[in-house]
Protein backbone atom coordinates (compact mmCIF):
# COMPACT_ATOMS: atom_id res chain seq x y z
CA UNK A 1 0.00 0.00 0.00
CA UNK A 2 1.46 3.34 -1.02
CA UNK A 3 1.72 6.21 1.43
CA UNK A 4 -0.91 8.17 -0.45
CA UNK A 5 -3.34 5.29 -0.33
CA UNK A 6 -2.63 4.79 3.35
CA UNK A 7 -3.36 8.42 4.13
CA UNK A 8 -6.52 8.36 2.04
CA UNK A 9 -7.76 5.23 3.84
CA UNK A 10 -6.86 6.87 7.14
CA UNK A 11 -9.04 9.85 6.27
CA UNK A 12 -11.82 7.50 5.08
CA UNK A 13 -11.72 5.57 8.32
CA UNK A 14 -11.70 8.66 10.52
CA UNK A 15 -14.57 10.24 8.63
CA UNK A 16 -16.69 7.10 8.86
CA UNK A 17 -15.81 6.82 12.52
CA UNK A 18 -16.77 10.40 13.25
CA UNK A 19 -20.19 9.92 11.69
CA UNK A 20 -20.66 6.76 13.76
CA UNK A 21 -19.77 8.79 16.83
CA UNK A 22 -22.48 11.31 16.10
CA UNK A 23 -25.10 8.57 16.02
CA UNK A 24 -23.67 6.46 18.82
CA UNK A 25 -23.28 9.39 21.20
CA UNK A 26 -27.06 9.69 21.47
CA UNK A 27 -27.39 5.99 22.21
CA UNK A 28 -24.78 5.97 24.91
CA UNK A 29 -26.02 9.21 26.46
CA UNK A 30 -29.53 7.82 26.87
CA UNK A 31 -28.24 4.58 28.30
CA UNK A 32 -25.79 6.23 30.65
CA UNK A 33 -28.20 8.74 32.13
CA UNK A 34 -31.50 6.92 31.93
CA UNK A 35 -30.46 3.28 31.85
CA UNK A 36 -32.56 2.79 28.73
CA UNK A 37 -31.32 0.64 25.86
CA UNK A 38 -33.09 2.16 22.88
CA UNK A 39 -33.00 -0.30 19.97
CA UNK A 40 -35.04 2.14 17.90
CA UNK A 41 -32.14 4.58 17.89
CA UNK A 42 -31.23 3.48 14.37
CA UNK A 43 -34.77 4.35 13.31
CA UNK A 44 -34.10 7.93 14.40
CA UNK A 45 -31.14 8.04 12.02
CA UNK A 46 -33.42 6.78 9.26
CA UNK A 47 -36.10 9.35 10.12
CA UNK A 48 -33.53 12.11 9.94
CA UNK A 49 -32.47 11.02 6.46
CA UNK A 50 -36.04 10.72 5.16
CA UNK A 51 -37.04 14.06 6.66
CA UNK A 52 -34.02 15.66 5.03
CA UNK A 53 -35.08 14.26 1.67
CA UNK A 54 -38.66 15.39 2.14
CA UNK A 55 -37.80 18.97 3.01
CA UNK A 56 -35.14 19.29 0.35
CA UNK A 57 -37.77 18.18 -2.18
CA UNK A 58 -40.17 20.82 -0.91
CA UNK A 59 -37.91 23.73 -0.10
CA UNK A 60 -34.89 23.13 -2.29
CA UNK A 61 -32.58 24.25 0.49
CA UNK A 62 -30.46 21.79 2.40
CA UNK A 63 -29.83 24.23 5.22
CA UNK A 64 -33.52 24.88 5.84
CA UNK A 65 -34.22 21.18 5.56
CA UNK A 66 -31.55 20.38 8.14
CA UNK A 67 -32.86 22.86 10.69
CA UNK A 68 -36.50 21.86 10.27
CA UNK A 69 -35.65 18.14 10.46
CA UNK A 70 -33.65 18.69 13.64
CA UNK A 71 -36.54 20.53 15.27
CA UNK A 72 -39.03 17.83 14.26
CA UNK A 73 -36.68 15.19 15.65
CA UNK A 74 -36.44 17.06 18.94
CA UNK A 75 -40.21 17.23 19.21
CA UNK A 76 -40.53 13.59 18.25
CA UNK A 77 -38.05 12.68 20.95
CA UNK A 78 -40.04 14.55 23.55
CA UNK A 79 -43.24 12.88 22.38
CA UNK A 80 -41.78 9.36 22.48
CA UNK A 81 -40.25 9.88 25.88
CA UNK A 82 -43.45 11.27 27.36
CA UNK A 83 -45.74 8.57 25.96
CA UNK A 84 -43.67 5.41 25.79
CA UNK A 85 -40.22 5.55 27.32
CA UNK A 86 -41.23 6.82 30.70
CA UNK A 87 -43.03 3.54 31.37
CA UNK A 88 -39.76 1.70 31.10
CA UNK A 89 -37.80 3.27 33.92
CA UNK A 90 -38.71 0.72 36.50
CA UNK A 91 -38.68 -2.20 34.09
CA UNK A 92 -35.86 -4.54 33.18
CA UNK A 93 -33.66 -4.52 30.08
CA UNK A 94 -35.72 -7.19 28.37
CA UNK A 95 -38.89 -5.11 28.46
CA UNK A 96 -36.93 -2.25 26.96
CA UNK A 97 -35.72 -4.54 24.20
CA UNK A 98 -39.27 -5.62 23.45
CA UNK A 99 -40.79 -2.16 23.48
CA UNK A 100 -38.10 -0.62 21.34
CA UNK A 101 -38.30 -3.52 18.87
CA UNK A 102 -42.01 -2.77 18.60
CA UNK A 103 -41.07 0.83 17.89
CA UNK A 104 -38.72 -0.28 15.12
CA UNK A 105 -41.58 -2.14 13.43
CA UNK A 106 -43.85 0.88 13.71
CA UNK A 107 -41.27 3.30 12.32
CA UNK A 108 -40.37 1.01 9.44
CA UNK A 109 -44.03 0.64 8.51
CA UNK A 110 -44.58 4.41 8.73
CA UNK A 111 -41.55 5.00 6.52
CA UNK A 112 -42.99 2.64 3.95
CA UNK A 113 -46.39 4.32 4.06
CA UNK A 114 -45.13 7.91 4.01
CA UNK A 115 -42.19 7.72 1.67
CA UNK A 116 -42.38 4.37 -0.13
CA UNK A 117 -39.68 1.79 -0.68
CA UNK A 118 -37.73 3.22 -3.60
CA UNK A 119 -34.17 4.37 -2.93
CA UNK A 120 -34.01 8.13 -2.54
CA UNK A 121 -31.19 10.56 -2.84
CA UNK A 122 -30.36 14.03 -1.61
CA UNK A 123 -28.03 16.17 -3.64
CA UNK A 124 -24.94 17.53 -1.93
CA UNK A 125 -25.47 21.24 -1.20
CA UNK A 126 -23.95 23.46 -3.90
CA UNK A 127 -21.59 25.19 -1.55
CA UNK A 128 -19.90 21.98 -0.53
CA UNK A 129 -20.09 20.02 -3.73
CA UNK A 130 -16.54 20.40 -4.99
CA UNK A 131 -13.68 18.01 -4.47
CA UNK A 132 -10.09 18.51 -3.44
CA UNK A 133 -7.61 16.78 -5.72
CA UNK A 134 -5.24 14.50 -3.82
CA UNK A 135 -3.52 12.60 -6.60
CA UNK A 136 -3.79 12.79 -10.37
CA UNK A 137 -6.88 10.61 -10.21
CA UNK A 138 -8.15 10.74 -6.69
CA UNK A 139 -10.09 13.64 -5.28
CA UNK A 140 -11.58 13.99 -1.86
CA UNK A 141 -15.11 15.35 -1.66
CA UNK A 142 -15.35 18.55 0.35
CA UNK A 143 -18.67 17.43 1.74
CA UNK A 144 -17.13 14.48 3.55
CA UNK A 145 -14.58 16.79 5.10
CA UNK A 146 -17.41 19.05 6.17
CA UNK A 147 -19.18 16.07 7.78
CA UNK A 148 -16.02 15.14 9.66
CA UNK A 149 -15.53 18.71 10.89
CA UNK A 150 -19.18 18.96 11.85
CA UNK A 151 -18.95 15.78 13.94
CA UNK A 152 -15.83 17.05 15.67
CA UNK A 153 -17.65 20.32 16.35
CA UNK A 154 -20.56 18.45 17.92
CA UNK A 155 -18.11 16.43 19.98
CA UNK A 156 -16.57 19.63 21.32
CA UNK A 157 -20.00 21.09 22.06
CA UNK A 158 -20.94 17.91 23.92
CA UNK A 159 -17.72 17.96 25.89
CA UNK A 160 -18.28 21.58 26.83
CA UNK A 161 -21.93 21.02 27.73
CA UNK A 162 -21.27 18.01 29.88
CA UNK A 163 -18.29 19.40 31.71
CA UNK A 164 -18.98 23.08 31.96
CA UNK A 165 -22.72 23.68 32.09
CA UNK A 166 -25.41 23.04 34.65
CA UNK A 167 -27.25 20.68 32.36
CA UNK A 168 -24.04 18.73 31.97
CA UNK A 169 -23.63 18.62 35.70
CA UNK A 170 -27.13 17.23 36.06
CA UNK A 171 -26.39 14.65 33.40
CA UNK A 172 -23.23 13.55 35.15
CA UNK A 173 -25.02 13.44 38.48
CA UNK A 174 -27.92 11.50 37.02
CA UNK A 175 -25.45 9.01 35.54
CA UNK A 176 -23.83 8.25 38.86
CA UNK A 177 -26.75 8.42 41.26
CA UNK A 178 -30.31 8.81 40.11
CA UNK A 179 -32.02 8.78 43.47
CA UNK A 180 -29.72 11.32 44.99
CA UNK A 181 -30.44 13.75 42.20
CA UNK A 182 -34.15 13.39 42.90
CA UNK A 183 -33.58 13.90 46.58
CA UNK A 184 -31.77 17.12 45.85
CA UNK A 185 -34.99 18.49 44.42
CA UNK A 186 -34.12 18.25 40.75
CA UNK A 187 -37.00 17.35 38.50
CA UNK A 188 -35.50 14.15 37.17
CA UNK A 189 -38.35 13.46 34.77
CA UNK A 190 -37.71 16.77 32.99
CA UNK A 191 -34.04 15.92 32.81
CA UNK A 192 -34.84 12.57 31.27
CA UNK A 193 -37.09 14.14 28.67
CA UNK A 194 -34.39 16.58 27.70
CA UNK A 195 -31.70 13.90 27.53
CA UNK A 196 -33.81 11.54 25.45
CA UNK A 197 -34.85 14.30 23.08
CA UNK A 198 -31.21 15.29 22.64
CA UNK A 199 -30.30 11.68 21.95
CA UNK A 200 -32.97 11.41 19.28
CA UNK A 201 -31.95 14.71 17.75
CA UNK A 202 -28.29 13.67 17.53
CA UNK A 203 -29.20 10.53 15.63
CA UNK A 204 -31.60 12.39 13.34
CA UNK A 205 -29.07 15.13 12.61
CA UNK A 206 -26.57 12.40 11.74
CA UNK A 207 -29.17 11.06 9.33
CA UNK A 208 -29.64 14.48 7.80
CA UNK A 209 -25.98 15.14 7.16
CA UNK A 210 -25.37 11.56 6.02
CA UNK A 211 -28.24 11.79 3.50
CA UNK A 212 -26.23 13.37 0.64
CA UNK A 213 -23.52 10.73 1.06
CA UNK A 214 -25.68 7.68 1.25
CA UNK A 215 -28.74 6.19 -0.37
CA UNK A 216 -31.93 6.50 1.60
CA UNK A 217 -33.51 3.07 1.73
CA UNK A 218 -35.69 0.99 4.03
CA UNK A 219 -33.65 -0.85 6.59
CA UNK A 220 -30.93 1.78 6.81
CA UNK A 221 -31.74 2.20 10.51
CA UNK A 222 -31.08 -1.39 11.52
CA UNK A 223 -27.92 -1.47 9.44
CA UNK A 224 -26.36 1.46 11.31
CA UNK A 225 -27.74 0.29 14.66
CA UNK A 226 -25.54 -2.76 14.76
CA UNK A 227 -22.42 -0.70 14.07
CA UNK A 228 -23.53 1.73 16.79
CA UNK A 229 -23.87 -1.04 19.33
CA UNK A 230 -20.39 -2.24 18.61
CA UNK A 231 -19.10 1.32 19.08
CA UNK A 232 -20.92 1.86 22.34
CA UNK A 233 -19.97 -1.48 23.80
CA UNK A 234 -16.31 -1.05 22.87
CA UNK A 235 -16.28 2.42 24.35
CA UNK A 236 -18.19 1.53 27.45
CA UNK A 237 -21.93 1.99 27.87
CA UNK A 238 -22.70 5.50 29.04
CA UNK A 239 -19.32 6.99 28.25
CA UNK A 240 -19.27 9.68 25.59
CA UNK A 241 -15.50 9.74 25.55
CA UNK A 242 -15.67 5.96 25.06
CA UNK A 243 -18.10 6.37 22.20
CA UNK A 244 -15.69 8.79 20.52
CA UNK A 245 -12.69 6.51 20.79
CA UNK A 246 -14.77 3.43 20.03
CA UNK A 247 -16.23 5.03 16.93
CA UNK A 248 -12.84 6.01 15.56
CA UNK A 249 -11.53 2.51 16.24
CA UNK A 250 -14.48 0.90 14.47
CA UNK A 251 -14.21 3.29 11.53
CA UNK A 252 -10.50 2.67 11.09
CA UNK A 253 -10.66 -1.10 11.58
CA UNK A 254 -13.57 -1.48 9.18
CA UNK A 255 -11.90 0.66 6.51
CA UNK A 256 -8.48 -0.97 6.67
CA UNK A 257 -9.91 -4.45 7.01
CA UNK A 258 -11.89 -4.10 3.79
CA UNK A 259 -8.73 -3.56 1.79
CA UNK A 260 -6.23 -5.62 3.76
CA UNK A 261 -8.25 -8.72 4.68
CA UNK A 262 -11.30 -8.66 2.40
CA UNK A 263 -12.32 -12.23 3.27
CA UNK A 264 -12.60 -11.40 6.95
CA UNK A 265 -13.60 -7.78 6.62
CA UNK A 266 -17.24 -8.13 7.60
CA UNK A 267 -16.28 -9.99 10.74
CA UNK A 268 -13.48 -7.64 11.79
CA UNK A 269 -15.45 -5.19 13.92
CA UNK A 270 -17.03 -8.08 15.81
CA UNK A 271 -13.68 -9.72 16.33
CA UNK A 272 -12.46 -6.37 17.60
CA UNK A 273 -15.40 -6.08 19.97
CA UNK A 274 -15.06 -9.61 21.27
CA UNK A 275 -11.33 -9.04 21.81
CA UNK A 276 -11.83 -5.81 23.75
CA UNK A 277 -14.63 -7.26 25.85
CA UNK A 278 -12.57 -10.24 26.80
CA UNK A 279 -9.82 -7.95 28.04
CA UNK A 280 -12.01 -5.25 29.53
CA UNK A 281 -15.50 -6.71 30.04
CA UNK A 282 -17.00 -3.28 30.68
CA UNK A 283 -15.59 -1.62 27.62
CA UNK A 284 -12.69 0.80 27.38
CA UNK A 285 -14.06 3.66 29.45
CA UNK A 286 -16.94 2.37 31.50
CA UNK A 287 -18.62 4.94 33.72
Partner 1 sequence: MKKNNKIINTILAGVTTLTLCTPATATETDPIKVGVMLPFSGVYGGLGEATRNGLKMALKEHAADLEGRTIEFIEMDTEARPDRAPEIASSLLNKSHADFIVGPVHSGVAMGMIKVLKDKDSIMIIPNAGANAATGPLCAPNIFRTSFSAWQPSYPMGKVALDAGYKKVVTMSWNYGFGKESLEAFEESFTAGGGDVVKKILVPFPKTEFQAYLSEIASIKPDAVFVFFAGGGAVKFVKDYDALGLKGKIPLLGSGFLTEGTLEAQGQAAEGILTTLHYADSLNNPTNNSFRQRYAENFGKPSDLYAVQGYDTGLMIANAVKSLQGDISDRKALISALENTTINSPRGDFTFSKAHNPIQNIYLREVVYGENEVIQLAAPALEDPARGCKM
Partner 2 sequence: MLFNKRTERLFIWIFFPLALMMPLFLEQNTFYVSKLTTVMIFSLFVMSLDYLVGRCGLITLGHAMFYGLGGYIFVMIAPEYEAVNFWLYTLYICSIAAAIALLIGLLVLRTSGIYMIMITLAFAQMAFYYFSDSIEFGGNDGVFIYVKPETSLFGLSLFDLDNPIHFYYLCLLSLFNTMAFFKIIMRSRFGRVMDAIHENPDRTVALGYNVFFFKLISYTIASALGAYAGYLFTLQYGFVNPSMLSWTTSGTALVMSILGGMGSIYGAILGTLVYEGLHYSLEHLTEHWLLFMGALIILMVMVFKDGIAGYLEKLLEKRS
Residue in 117, 96, 108 with CA at minimum distance from that of residue 44:
108
Q: Which of 217, 241, 277, 282 binds partner 1 (CB under 8 A)?
A: 217
Long-range residue pairs from 246-250, CB within 8 A, at least 24 positions apart, any chain: 246/24, 246/283, 246/284, 247/17, 247/18, 247/20, 247/21, 247/24, 248/13, 248/14, 248/17, 248/18, 248/21, 249/17, 250/17, 250/20
The beta strand positions in the chain, using DSSP E, are 131-133, 139-141
Count of residues that bind partner 1 according to CB under 8 A: 45
Cβ proximity to partner 2: between 188 and 227 the closer is 227
- 215 contributes a contact to partner 1 by CB under 8 A: yes
Distance CA 223, CA 23 (A): 12
Other CB atoms within a 10 A radius of the CB of residue 50 amount to: 27
Residue in 77, 108, 62, 74 with CA at minimum distance from that of residue 220:
108
Give the binding range for partner 2 (CB under 8 A) out of 127-135, 142-150, 177-185, 267-275: 267-275
Residue 105 touches which of partner 1, partner 2, none (Cβ within 5-8 Å per kind) = partner 2
Residue 219 touches which of partner 2, partner 1, none (Cβ within 5-8 Å per kind) = partner 1
- 65 contributes a contact to partner 1 by CB under 8 A: no
Residue 10 touches which of partner 1, partner 2, none (Cβ within 5-8 Å per kind) = none
Residue 138: CB minimum distance to partner 1, A: 4
- Please check whether residue 55 is in contact with residue 171, taking contact to mean a CB–CB distance below 8 angstroms: no
| Sign of the alpha-carbon torsion through 98, 99, 100, 101 | positive
What DSSP state is assigned to residue 185? T
Residue 103: CB minimum distance to partner 2, A: 7
Give the binding range for partner 2 (CB under 8 A) out of 2-10, 164-172, 196-204, 261-269: 261-269
Residue 147: CB minimum distance to partner 1, A: 12
Q: Which of 60, 63, 102, 116 binds partner 1 (CB under 8 A)?
A: 116
Give the binding range for partner 1 (CB under 8 A) out of 10-18, 37-45, 160-168, 233-241: 10-18
- By the criterion CB under 8 A, which residues form the site for partner 2? 31, 37, 84, 87, 91, 93-95, 97-99, 101-110, 112-113, 222, 226, 229-230, 233, 237, 263, 266-267, 270-271, 273-274, 277-278, 281-283
Amino acid sequence: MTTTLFIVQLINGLQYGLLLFLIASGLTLVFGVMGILNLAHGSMFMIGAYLAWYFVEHTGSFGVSAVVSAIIALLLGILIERTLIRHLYRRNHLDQVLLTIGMIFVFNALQSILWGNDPLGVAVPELLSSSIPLTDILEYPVYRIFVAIFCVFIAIVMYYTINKTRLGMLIRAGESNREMVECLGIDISRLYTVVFAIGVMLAAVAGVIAAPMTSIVPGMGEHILIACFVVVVIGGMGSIKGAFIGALLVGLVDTFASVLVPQLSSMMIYILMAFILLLKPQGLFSS
